[in-house]
Structures are given as C-alpha cells and as structure tokens.
Amino acid sequence: MKKKVGVYICHCGGNISDYVDVEKVREAVGLEEGVFLAKTTIFACADSNQKEMVQDIVDNELDAVVVASCSPKLHEPTFRAVTERAGLNKSHYVHANIREQVSWPHSDNKLGATEKAIHIVRSAIAKVILSEPSEPLEIKTHQAVLVIGAGVAGMKAASSLAKMGTQVYLIEREHFIGGRISHWDVLCTTDETGKELVTRLYNDISSDKNITLFTGAELIGSSGSMGNFTASIKIKPRYVKSACNENSFEKAISACPVEVPDEFNFNITKRKAIYHNFPSEYPHAAVIDIEHCTRCGECEKVCPQIDFNQHEETIDLKVGSILIATGFDPYTPHEGEYGYQVIDNVITLPQFKRLVANSDENLLWKGKTINNIAYIYCVGSRQVEGENKYCSRYCCTTTIYSAIRANKKFENLNHFHFTRGVRTYGKQEELYHQASKEGQVFFQSFEDDLPVVEKHNNKTIVKINDILTHKMPIETEVDLVVLVTGMVPRAENNISDILKIPKGRDKFFNEIHMKLRPVETVIDGITIAGACQGPKNVVESINSSLSAAIKSYSFVREETLSVNTLTAVVDASLCKICDACAKACPFDAIHPVNIGNKEVAGITESVCKGCGMCLPVCPENAIQLTSFTDNEVEQMIDMLARD
C-alpha cells in the first residue's frame, strides 16, 4: 500500500477554479490517509508544472500521483509520462476529471461542485493507493502495412507509406483501381479529370518497389494484433493472361455475344461479359465477368490468351498495421422515390455525370434531346424519416458544378434546382454565385413539404411550394429529372465483422475521436481513411489518408512495439472454463490454454482491449482487470459514498 501520494489540483486557467473552490478541495484531500503532498496549480499541463512535479516526486520520494484536472483523453498520457520521467511506474498515476465531470456541468452550484470534486479526488486517491506496477508487453513487429481499397485515399496512403520505406500491400476488391474518382470526367473546382488524377496516383504506386498491388482481392479473414496481423486475402482470377495485347482484347470483346448493364456508367449503358475500363481505370488489362459469361467460346477463338483454367487463390499476408480506405457508394433511391424506376426520365446524379461525359454534340436521354433539367437535392440525405439523417456535404457543390459544366458543353439548357437549402461550403460558394448569374433557377422547400415528380400526358412535371416566394406553388415541365444522391457506406462490406471495427449510427466506420484521434479505430494498429468513415470530398479524403498513413507507420517503424497492459487477468485456481467469457469478448481475445494439467481461459494480452465485458459474465469471479481490480473499484465506491 502506498504511503506517500502527491495530489495536484488544477485551476485550468479558470475553467475549473471559477466554479470549484480548488483551495477547499486541496485542504480536504490533504488530510486523507497516504497523502503526503497536496498542491494547486494554474495549469497542471504546463511545462513548468510538469518539471515541478518531477522534482516533487524525486525530492519527496513519492510512491504515487493524482492530478485533478480536465479530461483524461487530453492529459492522462501527459501525466503518466511525468511519473515515468521521475522514476515511477506509470500505473502509479490516477487521473481525476473535475472539469467535464464537475465544473462544467455544475457551473451554477459552486458549493455542490466543490463537494463533488472532493469526493472524486478522494476516490482517485483510494485507487492509486492500491495500484500495482505493470510492465508493457513487447511485440515483434512485421514492418509492413496492408492498405484495403485502391481508390484515391488508398493509393495516396500506400504511396505515402512506401516513401517512408515501408513495405505496402495494396488490395482492391474490383479488378480495376481508382474507386469512384475514375467515374468522373472533370473534378469540382480543379478542372482536372478523374482519369488524370487516377493516372498520376497509379503511376506512383506501380513504379514504387515497396508497393505490391493485388486487384480482384478481398480480405476474408484476420488474426493477430497490432504489430502482428495475419490477413487472409482471396484473389479472383481475370481469366485473361496478362500477355494478351489490346488488339486481341478488342476482337474478343466484339466477339462476345453477352451484354450486361455497365456498372462503370451506373447502368445507363451496356458492356460485354469480357470488358475493360481503360483509359479511365487501371491496370490496362481485360477481365471476364465469370458470373455472366456463358462459356460460349467465341472470345477464345479470336484471343488465345483467354484462360478459363485460372482459379481463385488465398494468400496470407503478415503485416504490422492495416489501413482501411474502402470508400463509399452513391445512395440508390427506392423504386418510386421521386419517380425513380417508375418515370423513365428520372436518373441519379452519378448517372447524369456519366451521361454528360459520354455525350458529344447533343445531350440525349433515350434518343430525346434534353433542354430542361430539374435537380432534386438531398435524395438519401437529411431524411426526416429513414436511416440517412446526415448531410453528405459534397452533393450541392457537385450538382451545381455539373450543371455549369453541362452549360459549357451543350447549348440551350435550362436548369431548375429544387433544394432544401444550398450547402456549397467554403470557396465553393462561388459556384452557386456563378450558376445564379448564368440564369439557373433555385427553389427551396421545407423537409416536411418536399418536391413532387409526376407524369401527366407523357410530360414530366416537378412541383414545389417554394419558400423563397412565400410557399408559392410552382411547377415546371422538364425533359430530365436528376436525383442528387448522397454518400452511403460501401455495400457488401464484411470488413467490420472481420476486423471488429465499430460503425456509427450512420453505418460508416467510427474513429476514436474526430479531433483528437481522427483516423484511429478502437482496434490498435487499424486506421481508417477517406469516405469509409463519412462523406468527404477528394481533398478531405487525401488529407485523411496522409494522416492515416503517418499513424499506421508509427505502428511499424520499429522492430518491436510496447503494448498497453490494461488487460483482463484470469485466476487459474478459480476458472472452470465455462466459455462464458470467450463468448462475451468482442475482440476474440480469450481462448482455452493449459496450465499444468488444467484447461483454463487464457487472455491474449496483445489483443485484449481491457473493455471488461468478460468480468460480469464469469460465474466464479475468476477474471480481474488490471488497474481496475475489485478491491480498487470497491475502495473508490466506499470513498464516494463517504460523507
């Protein structure tokens, strides 16, 4: 039991001391058994105070330290490092949060806030007195990173990691890299095409010896932990040998009798069962869609490089970190939503962009010339009822920019924008201004009074009660209706289940903290980047990919890693291997082990997150959590309950 504890109560510049009598807190806790030193400080985290704390620990031979200040997310690592610099084990430090838990929620009751602060600091003292030293677990690191997804974010992250000298395995589920950007003609505000951006990134990764690219590759399993992951990758064949030349491709494609909707053009065109997407996508190689191929043999007659003997294979990759950049899907409207799939000239924004890109002299839809275009905003975003309550952020900008580009390419176009308020944030507001100057018309409706798309006498009519004209009923006849769809998470994505990555209410991957740890997940060693964690534009996706690359590199730059030892511990003498703890563990960290002649539950320390889910389900109370043992928690409760 510790006999000499140092306690520091922070003013936090006034964030705490304006609402809590910190001197009264100091006087009260200074009388507690085991407290040798109690001080107040204006800013506990300041360098000067940290140096003073180190000196106090050394001069007074303190056994443990408590700092009462702001959120432990901000500064618990700071003060743990202070205790280590002074020669103490970092487990002999306990953080008391008297800002978020006291001064801020009780700013209207200084007396009550002060009493609560005293109780919280006392409970921290009670805990630190019982603390036991712990040593970090050393793990040998595989100095390689697996990047999942070869869109813009994934390729940029892979390139950045490779430039740091790290081996990178870049896998893409599709047979072509580039992600969503490869679909777009001209990108917003830059006038660079998607093809140009993808080409630059592909040239970077294909010329870097540190990057190994696998296309048609999908993660199907993973084991291990930070520094030591084993990822199982299933690779689908192309059924075309790489030596096949472009001329043979074209002959084989012409000979193929099978046509299916072309996903690259969002199904507004058709492609053959053997196809390629270059020059927009890479690599420049054909692939056979084996699900739709009839094995008629026509392509084999003209292209000797067709090889139906190729088969799926599975490989295991040893990596120290995994970076996820799986991107997004455009929202697909339900049948009948604003006439989608019911009225023949209602399409989505991605389809419209491909229509404009593929059209030359005239803008045509199903053989008819397009003059009047209606854009229905926020389809699949900001839903009053439904799953997608968030704003996808890029849709307004993309729609207005696409309309401006269409005006430059085609004559006699009229644009009618049916919005719920335009959100072209930042400098992109200039696009809204430009569209308005061009004569494009903007209407606006409330969320509970949305536009209506109807078909009357072979005419498509869009109606709105426009709040910009005091809810005046307005209707316009149009040749094409474009549904402005937002971003949703990638479909058929089982990565969350395989890697145990949590998702938010919006179904995108969750970071630990959007400001403090914006690309980290709760699984150490696994980072996220780009639109897989929420709607982002190209610049934002690239920025997050660079951040994720730096963080992933931090896991593999050294040959060994020190892992936090806040883990569950099993008392083998009490364990009866009932398997309840293993079923409760969300991280698959508990497996049977043999100790002597007895089989008991064993904890894989490098995988365990110290979440405590296994503790309450154990009928024998055979599991404890380091730094949160029953004795420590009970002592804290007793102290909180004290008058």
Residues 6+ apart with CB under 8 A from 357: 184, 185
pLDDT value at position 1?
57
- Could you report the per-residue pLDDT of 506-524, keeping only the tens digit for each? 999 999 988 889 999 988 8
pLDDT value at position 606?
82
- Could you report the per-residue pLDDT of 569-586, keeping only the tens digit for each? 999 999 999 999 999 998
Side chain identity at 70, as an amino acid letter?
A: C
Dig out the tokens for 299 from the structure: 């392509």
Residues 6+ apart with CB under 8 A from 209: none
Do 506 and 388 meet the contact criterion of CB atoms below 8 Å apart?
Answer: yes
Residue 325 pLDDT > 60: yes
| For range 368-384, the mean pLDDT | 93
- Could you report the per-residue pLDDT of 410-433, keeping only the tens digit for each? 999 999 999 999 999 888 999 999
Side chain identity at 238, as an amino acid letter?
A: R
Measured distance CA(504)–CA(478) in Å, rounded: 39
Q: How many residues does the chain have?
A: 643
Residue 536 pLDDT > 80: yes
Report helix, strand or coil for 615: coil
Alpha helices in 289-428 (DSSP H): 298-302, 349-358, 395-409
Do 404 and 438 meet the contact criterion of CB atoms below 8 Å apart?
Answer: yes
List of domains in the chain: 5-134 (3.40.50), 144-236+312-325+502-556 (3.50.50.60), 246-302 (no CATH), 329-488 (3.50.50.60), 564-626 (3.30.70.20)
Gyration radius of the chain over CA positions: 30
pTM for this one? 0.85
pLDDT value at position 2?
65
Measured distance CA(291)–CA(268) in Å, rounded: 20
- Could you report the per-residue pLDDT of 102-148, keeping only the tens digit for each? 999 999 999 999 999 999 999 999 999 999 898 888 889 999 999 99
Bridge-based pairing state of the strands 270-272 and 259-261:
antiparallel
DSSP conformation class of 490 = P
Report helix, strand or coil for 418: strand
Do 605 and 567 meet the contact criterion of CB atoms below 8 Å apart?
Answer: yes
Residue 243 pLDDT level (bands cut at 50, 70, 90): low
Dig out the tokens for 76 from the structure: 């618990």
Closest CA to 253 of 231, 268, 236, 275: 275
Dig out the tokens for 438 from the structure: 């061009």
Measured distance CA(483)–CA(381) in Å, rounded: 11
- For residue 441, list its beta bridge partners: 416
- Backbone φ and ψ for 634, nearest 5 degrees, come out as -65, -40
Widest pairwise Cα distance in the chain: 93
> Which of 8-17, 35-44, 604-613 has the lowest average pLDDT?
604-613
DSSP conformation class of 98 = -
Do 397 and 424 meet the contact criterion of CB atoms below 8 Å apart?
Answer: yes
Measured distance CA(636)–CA(109) in Å, rounded: 24
Residue 619 pLDDT > 80: yes
Average predicted confidence (pLDDT) for the chain: 93
DSSP conformation class of 524 = T
Residue 246 pLDDT > 70: no
Share of the chain above pLDDT 90, in %: 78
Closest CA to 15 of 62, 88, 75, 63: 75
Q: At what angle do helices 110-129 and 630-640 cross, to 10 degrees?
A: 150
Task: Please state the separation of Cα 271 from the chain's center in Å.
Answer: 33
Residue 245 pLDDT level (bands cut at 50, 70, 90): low
Dig out the tokens for 217 from the structure: 């590759």
Beta strands in 320-390 (DSSP E): 321-324, 328-330, 346-348, 364-365, 368-369, 372-379
- Could you report the per-residue pLDDT of 167-201, keeping only the tens digit for each? 999 999 999 999 999 998 888 878 788 999 999 99
DSSP conformation class of 103 = I
CA atoms within 13 A on the CB side of 290: 14
Residue 244 pLDDT level (bands cut at 50, 70, 90): low
Report helix, strand or coil for 8: strand
Measured distance CA(574)–CA(340) in Å, rounded: 63
- Could you report the per-residue pLDDT of 433-466, keeping only the tens digit for each? 999 999 999 999 998 899 999 999 899 999 999 9
Measured distance CA(60)–CA(2) in Å, rounded: 13
